[in-house]
Amino acid sequence: MRLPRGIRAASIVLATTVSLSVAGALPASADTTVPPVLIGVEAGDRSAVIRYEPAVSASVTGYQASPDGYAWFDCPDVSGTCSLSSLTNGREYQVSLRTVGPQGPSEPAGPVATIPVTTPGSDPDKPQVLPRPRTRVTARFDAAGNGLGVRSPRTKLGVGTLPYLTFSRAIPNKRAVETHLVVTATRADGRTSEVAGAWGWINDRTAVFRPKDFWPGNATIRITSTLDDAVLGKSQGRYLIGASSLATTYTFRTDRSLIARVNGAKKEMDVFIDGRKRKTFKISLGGPGWETRKGAKVISTAKEADKVYRSASLGLTDPEDFYELPSKWNTRLTPTGEFLHTASWAYGRLGRYNGSHGCTNMFEQDAKWIFDNTIPGDVIDYVKTGGDTMEPWNGPGGLWNIPWSKWLKKSAVGSGSDQVDTSLDNGSAADARPDGA
């Protein structure tokens, strides 16, 4: 998204400013206060200046400005301008203005998307005169880059989604990329905050943003890019420069937070929705020699109402190990063959002992609930399974299982060096131990 018309990237210095201290609460009332006439918003260095037509009405005694529609701050006068200060450069704000009076606040005018910027010439990655020879670099964004099977940007995702940004060229200056991308979350109540996390490079062209914890539920996630005209390094004698299309904000939304905790010692699955435990299911995991992998696993669109599990898929050739087991309500977790599914042949061990070949065995009504109520990006987190940790390549949840200290080594900012660790354990389902019923 380019800067809206009327917003210019310039440093604005005005005597009239609003410090970021929350205005006193005003009584709620019917909307009888005259709303403001908003002329425009100008982006400055860590600031945004709102211009409006001063109201000529006894119902208006002052103005309040907001960077996000949640927190409101008093304007010092009714002069026609009001400034928000102490903002973060490179982050998108949804700036609004409202009037206040004896009857309370008016309906707000706005929001206007505004991105504060550094003073021209002060950003070392964005010189006023771009070097030559140069090549422009573009990028492709995928909010569900971890293989969820979802492409529509309007689809709400689970809190285990991982957004990918893939550039048209290998990027030498990875620090410049990371410092010109700001990630925020706007929650259902309107509160906006920056997301704690780090970009990690899985190769020289692709960066993945991983929150330190999972995403908040019911939120709008914005990744604001000011990479246009940024120098991203030099390759084969040419400077790589961010294309104008990289002055944009990538957006996606999360649905309610669904995180299921599977405890292999208790043989139970607890399902938490928006932080509250809603369901407890009895389960059975992988038995000796087939222990279920531990760690975070993420739901995708890969579900099968009916499936037949066969011993041959596990390489079991002994006649005593032969089985063909039809099952209902199968939700895939990994390409190695791990599913959550009905296991009518194993009802006697559910909640009692582990005996599967790596899958999560469930009662039919419980497996159907998972099948019907989970969406791409929902998280199933496994502990105390006795198995190895989920490999980074093994399904949509793999990257979540890289230890945080190791993930930071994949970040130029986190590691303090452009020589980041872009390696992954490049295994495959064909080479790994399979999972089954």
Phi, psi for 164 (deg, rounded to 5): -110, 145
Rounded Cα–Cα distance for residues 104 and 34 (Å): 10
How far apart are the C-alpha atoms of 93 and 83, rounded to whole Å?
Answer: 13
Domain covering 134-253 assigned CATH 2.60.120.1440 in the classification:
no
Q: Do β-strands 303-310 and 324-332 pair in parallel, antiparallel, or remain unpaired?
A: antiparallel
Q: Which residues of the chain does CATH 2.60.40.10 include?
A: 1-117
| CB atoms closer than 10 angstroms to residue 182 | 19
Q: Is 265 left (phi over 0), alpha (psi -120 to 50) or beta?
A: alpha
Whole-angstrom Cα distance, residue 229 to residue 252?
25
- CATH code 2.60.40.3710 region(s) in the chain: 134-253
CATH fold group of domain 258-415: L,D-transpeptidase catalytic domain-like (2.40.440)
Phi, psi of 315 (to 5 degrees): 75, 20
Query: Could you name the CATH architecture of 1-117?
Result: Sandwich (2.60)
Burial string for 115-126 (b: 16+ CB within 10 Å, else e) reads bbbbeeeebebb
Tens digits of per-residue pLDDT, 13-63? 333 344 444 444 444 444 478 999 999 999 999 999 999 999 888 889 999
Q: What is the 3-state secondary structure (H, E, C) of 32-89?
A: CCCCCEEEEEEEECCEEEEEEECCCCCCCCEEEEECCCCCCEECCCCCCEEEECCCCC
Enter the pTM of the model.
Answer: 0.90
Rounded to whole angstroms, how far apart are CA atoms 156 and 7? Answer: 30
Question: Where in the sequence of the chain do the CATH 2.40.440.10 domains occur?
Answer: 258-415
Residue-by-residue pLDDT tens, the chain, 437 positions: 343 333 333 333 333 344 444 444 444 444 478 999 999 999 999 999 999 999 888 889 999 999 999 999 999 999 999 999 999 999 999 999 999 999 999 999 999 999 999 998 899 999 999 999 999 999 999 999 999 999 888 899 999 999 999 999 999 999 999 999 999 999 999 999 999 999 999 999 999 999 999 999 999 999 999 999 999 999 999 999 999 999 999 999 999 999 999 999 999 999 999 999 999 999 999 999 999 999 999 999 999 999 999 988 888 887 877 889 999 999 999 999 999 999 999 999 999 999 999 999 999 999 999 999 999 999 999 999 999 999 999 999 999 999 999 999 999 999 999 889 999 877 887 888 898 89
Closest CA to 68 of 53, 88, 52, 54: 88
Q: Measured between alpha carbons, how far is 396 from 254 in angstroms, rounded to an integer?
A: 16
Q: How far apart are CA 416 and CA 429, in angstroms?
A: 34
Q: Which residues are 360's β-sheet partners?
A: 340
Distance CA 53, CA 56 (A): 9
Give residue 432's pLDDT: 85
What the block records as the tokens of 320 is: 């005593």
Report pLDDT for 308: 96
Rounded mean pLDDT of the chain? 92
The pLDDT score that the predictor gives to residue 26 is 42
